[in-house]
Chains A and B, each alone.
Chain A
Amino acid sequence: MTVALALTEVSFTYPEGEAPALADVTLEVPEGIFALATGPTGAGKSTLLRTANGLVPHFTGGTFAGRVRVAGRDTLAHAPRELADTVAFVPQDPAASFVLDRVEDELAYGMENLAVPPERMRRRVEEMLDLLGIEPLRDRSVRSISGGERQRVAIGAALAAGPRVLVLDEPTSQLDPQGAEDVMAALQRLVHDHGMTVLLAEHRLERVAGFVDMAIGVTDGSVEAGEPGEVLARLGGGPPVARLGRLAGWNRVPLTVREARATGMRPLGPPSARSVPALGDPLLIARGLAAGYDDGPEVLRRIDLQIRQGEVVALMGRNGAGKSTLLRCLAGSMQPTEGGVRVPARAPRPGVDVALCPQEPESILFNDTVEGEIAATLAALDSERPHPDPGEILDRLRIRALARRHPRDTSAGQRLLVATAAVAATGAPILLLDEPTRGLDPGSKDRLAAFLRDHAAGGGAVVIATHDVELAAAAATRVVMLAGGELIADGTPGQVLGDSHVFAPQMTRAFGPGWLTPEQVAAALS
């Protein structure tokens, strides 16, 4: 088998980095393979991916040793642009990578640079529109479409140029479960039917484990590659079914729902009702909420919602369902066109009654250190209000080790935790989080979930807009489902997620409604 991507004794240190981001990495990805790079946040996955087309070190500088060959071509001898016909790269934030404005033009941009004949470009653009289900967007502006749609356009734009190797950094992080499933299926088809090589980094293993042929575990700059089951077992991670397998002590740790079912192990009887904490007083009341943007159509329609003390509410729904808009209305940063939001007696004051962690954590980070970031929030508080202890917040999110680091020198997942800490430092009882899962590894996700549960248990409430069904299953006490700006389901995670094909977590898929987390199932099995 030919080798699509080969790294030989690669070491790399960023210009101002202290420790090497990659340390003596040797790796071969054969052609026609679907490979997954995974590992804790900040371990060097993005760096590894960026060596594949020479962005590291051509764009980064730094100290590079060893050799990377992609389809036989040395990335040191060839600039990224010369490798554009061989390898395509989709970065973590697709919005920043768009060059042109119209979706259709963006899809064709790479082909134009490769001087693909116009007729062929035309055909391939149409193919991409169909393959990724973005045909209705062809005339739209890439700035006006939703995050999930952008991710699909970015993938289409990379694929259109017809590369042999496709490298993607967290391609499903902003996609709803169905959208993620569609993208993964499309990638698998490219691998199976066209012999393409795909290398992707992903934290949400439940979405990808069933598709990949090979896993590359990245920890602290070193890698180990191999069969997905083995690698994930050694990393101690894996999707919820794998976690269940380890918790229950199964011989063969499953990677997919199907494999978990095949073990024949099933909990007896329906799940015992989860101990739901007694609900407190309503903290936030939305009545008849309708909202829209300047000149767009209505995004929210007559939403009635009450958030009570002690609740962790997961706000779910497909891309563009109105989740972010609802959060902005709840936070008081957007004026609804009808209806209103109260904390019971008055309108919510941002930073006092409610605080929101934005989708891009980078938009609030401005200090030189992580602890400075917390201090900045505290400095803005009214002096008579009780100030939370900054150290305690860092401890609860387990990022005290980062206290003196520059927030922007941390990984995407770490930045999210820092931003969450900075927002939580307001001491606002109601905490809102918009898609807090980009770059978040399972370990960090557990910490975040525990932090949110603690916050709610301590007399507050949390609303979290997310596509991550496993996070909702693990952390939420209540799930609210939106579709087309309307509230279509509201209940416990067991009720709402158990009743859905698309939003069901792995445990529900494997063992039926009501089963949500591996811990719950493992307890029932033993």
Chain B
Amino acid sequence: MHPGAWITWATCAGVVAFTTTNPWYLVVLVAASWFVYAAHRVEGPAARSFRVFLLFGLVTMLVRTALVFFGTIDAASVAFAALEGARLAVILVVFGTFNAVTDPFGVLRLAPRRFHEPALAAALALSIAPRTIASVRRVREAQAMRGIVVHRWRTLPALVVPVLETGMEEAMTLAESMDARGHGRGRRSRYRPQPWTSAGIATAMTAVAAAGVFVIASARGLGDLHPSTDPLEWPRVAPALVGTIIAVAIPGVFRRSGP
């Protein structure tokens, strides 16, 4: 699928998540992301980013909720914080899905030439998460094999130093490799530019439409996008909005091509 379709999908799914704190819609959106991830994830460590970001999201939600305990504790404020946290968590899940289905450097190739440098920086930044995930796993395991189990502050350098140093060395090698292979010579051609297939167009269009519906619903106060937490009420659900989120899962039914 065209990388632009994924950028559009992720942005719009993020907008949907941003417009609501209704757990019903958020959970359906997570399910939709999971379905898309299942169908399109790439091979290799990047595929882990769904799970990692899901975990990261849950931690964010817990931390956000735990902050309440520094103030007045009642069901209403806990619920309010939990829902705000859930919204953040779902945005992270969407980002994790995006990371797991695309190649950041493939996205880089879409950038117009004059934006090449900022796009390169962005692509490098995007690729840091999956690289670090892989690196942390590798180093932890390798250190455990020599009897150093990283679980306390004192043993943290055994994990952090190799991860950072290997990361630096890898970044250097990558920069050298890109330069040695002619990156930044100015003129360039495109190898098999990914066409906008009907699947890509459908993905982008449904995503935009879904985001549009949620933005409108949000502006008009429809569909209980922000369920009342004070009084604590059971969130209501508009079937039409659930249907809209299901539409966000549409890329999942298209056949995956490429890695």
Contacts and interface: CB of A to CB of B under 8 A. Distances in A.
Per the CB under 8 Å rule, do A and B touch in the complex? yes
Interface of A: 53, 55, 58-59, 79-85, 88-89, 91, 93, 96-105, 108-118, 121-122, 125, 139-144, 157-158, 161, 295, 328, 331, 333, 350-352, 354-358, 360, 362-366, 376-377, 380-381, 408, 422-423, 425-426, 428, 432
Contacts of B155: 380
B182 A84 contact: yes
Interface in B165-195: 165-166, 169-170, 172-185, 187-192
Contacts of B42: 101, 141, 143
Given A140-B259, A408-B165, A105 B106 contact: yes
Contacts of B106: 100-102, 105
B189 A111 contact: yes
Given A97-B177, A422-B146, A365 B162 contact: yes
B145 A99 contact: no
A376 B148 CA distance: 8
21 contacts: A58-B179, A85-B182, A91-B173, A103-B259, A109-B191, A114-B188, A117-B189, A118-B189, A122-B192, A142-B44, A143-B46, A144-B259, A351-B147, A356-B142, A356-B146, A357-B145, A358-B141, A362-B162, A363-B143, A381-B147, A408-B165
Contacts of A157: 181
Contact of B141 (A108, A110, A333): A333
B189 A377 contact: no
Given A118-B190, A121-B191, A140-B259, A100 B103 contact: yes
A114 B46 CA distance: 29
B184 A81 contact: yes
Nearest to A137: B259
Interface in B92-130: 103, 105-106, 109
A97 B190 contact: no
Specify the main secondary structure of chain A where it touches its partner.
Answer: mixed
Interface residues of B, number: 56
Contacts of B238: none
A350 B150 CA distance: 13
A472 to B, nearest CB: 22
Nearest to A54: B180
B189 A363 contact: no
A523 B155 CA distance: 51
Contact of B176 (A59, A354, A380, A422): A59
Interface string B198-237: 0000000000000000000000000000000000000000
A142 to B, nearest CB: 8
A355 B188 contact: no
Contacts of A423: 145-146
A60 to B, nearest CB: 9
Specify the main secondary structure of chain B where it touches its partner.
Answer: helix
Given A350-B145, A360-B138, 4 more contacts: A101-B42, A113-B182, A358-B142, A364-B148
The list of the 8 closest CB pairs from A to B, nearest first, reads A351-B147, A143-B44, A84-B182, A113-B182, A101-B103, A108-B191, A144-B43, A366-B161
Given A100-B106, A115-B187, A333-B141, A80 B179 contact: yes
B155 to A, nearest CB: 8
B43 A97 contact: no
A100 B190 contact: no
Contact of A377 (B46, B147, B172, B259): B147
A439 to B, nearest CB: 14
Given A141-B42, A355-B145, A100 B105 contact: yes
A108 to B, nearest CB: 4
B181 A352 contact: no
B147 A161 contact: no
Contact of A364 (B45, B139, B183): B139
A81 B180 contact: yes
Contacts of A85: 182
Contacts of A83: 180
A355 B174 contact: no
Given A59-B172, A122-B191, A140-B43, A364 B146 contact: yes
A338 B45 CA distance: 24
A108 B192 contact: yes
Given A139-B258, A140-B43, A80 B185 contact: no
Contacts of A59: 172, 175-176, 179
B259 A362 contact: no
Contact of A84 (B174, B181, B190): B181
A130 B47 CA distance: 28
Contacts of A351: 144-149
A363 B138 contact: yes
A143 B43 CA distance: 7
B243 interface: no
B158 interface: yes
B126 to A, nearest CB: 12
Contacts of B182: 81, 84-85, 110, 113-114, 161
A360 B142 CA distance: 9
Given A84-B185, A96-B170, A110-B182, A101 B147 contact: no
Contacts of A84: 180-182, 185
B146 A377 contact: yes
Contacts of B141: 328, 333, 358
A112 B191 contact: yes
A331 B145 contact: yes
A380 B157 CA distance: 13
A216 B177 CA distance: 24
A366 B161 CA distance: 5
Given A93-B173, A140-B259, A380 B191 contact: no
B189 A426 contact: no
A139 B145 contact: no
B185 A82 contact: yes
A352 to B, nearest CB: 7
Nearest to B187: A115
Contact of B189 (A115, A380, A428): A115
B157 A366 contact: yes
Nearest to B173: A96
A118 B191 contact: yes
A55 B180 contact: yes
A113 B176 contact: no
A328 B103 CA distance: 29
Given A101-B103, A144-B44, A350-B147, A363 B180 contact: no
Given A102-B258, A351-B145, A351-B148, A91 B192 contact: no
Interface in B36-77: 42-47
Given A82-B185, A121-B189, A91 B177 contact: yes
B189 to A, nearest CB: 5
Nearest to A333: B141
Contacts of B142: 356, 358, 360, 363-364
A113 to B, nearest CB: 3
Contacts of B179: 55, 58-59, 79-81
B174 A358 contact: no
